[in-house]
Amino acid sequence: MADKHQIDDQHNDLTKGPILKGLVMMALPIMGTSFIQMAYNLTDMIWIGFLGSNAVAAVGIAGFFIWLSQAFIFLGKTGTEIKVAQATGGHLNDRAEEIARSGIHITVVIAILYSISIIALRNPIISFFNTNSESVDSMAHSYLIIVVAGLVFSFCNQVFTGIFNGRGNSHLPFKFNAVGLVINMILDPILINGFGVIPQLGVAGAAIATVFAQLVVFLIFLYNIRLKHVLFNHFQFFKKSKLVDIQSIMKMGFPPALQSALFTLISIAIARIIAEYGALPIAVQKVGSQIESLTWMTAMGFSVALGSFVGQNYGGQQYKRVVEGYRTAMKVAFVIGLFNTVLLFFGAKWLFMIFIREPEAIPLGVDYLKILALSQLFMCIEITSSGAFNGIGRTEPAAFVSIVFNVLRIPMALYFSHLTVLGLNGIWWSITISSVFKGVIVYIWFGMILRKRKEFSL
């Protein structure tokens, strides 16, 4: 067993070998995992859509609190992933195991507390949306309670994925999550619409399918970590965590957690501004953001891969490889960003018409994609640079820049849309302009760190 463990460590060692190949081999499964998460939501919405607009609205309301939960996941996941990568790079396998265990303990506690809070407050938070529909509220209650009750599996699966990524092994989480997606795709139509002796459960069926799929993925992770020892030799889940590790992990996780929570709230505020122009712009923004998410998910794949790469090499004191890895990743980010800029700008009409073909919606969609196209390069630079910051354990700078300019989107959107001739397009320009500033500042900030810190200039 020890020999197998050593072989696995050598195979996932990012402190050696070609840099570009290592980054790409790490990034591709991470991108695939992101697409799987998107496919979960897409599968649910496709089948729920057959139940009618009330069902879609109910799931949309409950989905806000699922989205908000992502911020709390970062409290345990981000710091665990970074510190596991750094310990792995320093060949401190026992230390990496201690950190991983602490991250899991943090995540379980946070998941339970968040779930209890949402279930206890479900009536006022659903009433907040003032749907004036008992049917919508009832379905939102059913969906929310079931999904939130199983959030501990989703939380743990994400921190497990972070631990695997920190150890340089991103392909197994992709495979495990793919199994969950297949299960969800099979169960959705059966539980939502009924089949044989199984009654029609509606939105509750979609929630059950999601929770069961996440449970299966959770069990697969447990089996591989505890019994197959694919990451650590005889991992112990119930050994007591060190207080200093818990504090360190949460300190690293707090900035991105705050960033994520505020981004969710800011998005809601922006949606309220868009709603002043009617229902059609809301649909346009929804479709446009899904198209634009291709850039985000691709860049995020390289960001997480770079974070693990930088973390391992930083922990192993391979500072020259840290710099070379960052420069290599930025070249890839530039190519991805430039490609998506060209694609969205010149292919705006045809991309948008894949989803909506209503004549009055097409010009709005084209404007959205062309304006947002100008930010794709800078978004890639920001996201990729954030991964480099995470790798050296500095989660604050990128999160700070993101929070500041995301908050500024609200006054900019109000100004450009209400006090200029831009109208609705002013909202899209507020998003693009803030993305440009974020990309430039984060890139310059990390470059300053590389120049000022002695270890990187050796």
pLDDT along the chain (458 residues), means of 10: 40 79 88 79 74 75 81 92 90 89 94 93 79 79 91 94 90 91 90 84 89 95 86 82 92 92 86 79 77 84 90 89 92 93 94 80 91 95 94 92 95 93 93 96 93 74
pLDDT of 374 reads 95
pLDDT of 11 reads 43
pLDDT of 458 reads 53
CA 17/CA 11 separation, integer angstroms:
10
Per the structure block, which two tokens stand in for 226?
Answer: 């505890």
pLDDT of 329 reads 93
Residue 410 CB: number of other CB atoms within 10 A?
Answer: 16
Q: Are 205 and 139 in contact (CB under 8 A)?
A: no
CA 377/CA 397 separation, integer angstroms:
20
Per the structure block, which two tokens stand in for 327?
Answer: 């420069």
Residue 228 CB: number of other CB atoms within 10 A?
Answer: 11
Q: How many residues does the chain have?
A: 458
Q: What angle do CA 348, 291, 309 make, to 5 degrees?
A: 125
* 178 phi and psi angles, rounded to 5 deg: -65, -35
- CA–chain centroid gap for 262, Å, is 14
pLDDT of 30 reads 86
pTM score, whole prediction? 0.83
Q: Which residue has the tokens 């980054």?
A: 23
User: Strand, helix or coil at 138?
Assistant: helix
Instruction: Please tell me what DSSP assigns to residue 457.
Output: G
CA 228/CA 235 separation, integer angstroms:
10
Nearest CA among 266, 250, 245 for reference residue 395: 250
* 195 phi and psi angles, rounded to 5 deg: -160, 120
pLDDT of 60 reads 73
* 363 phi and psi angles, rounded to 5 deg: -60, -40
Q: Which residue has the tokens 């989660």?
A: 395
- Which residues are 195's β-sheet partners? 198
For the residues of 158-214, what is the DSSP string, one character each? HHHHHHHHHTT--HHHHHHHHHHHHHHHHHHHHHHH-BTTBPP-THHHHHHHHHHHH
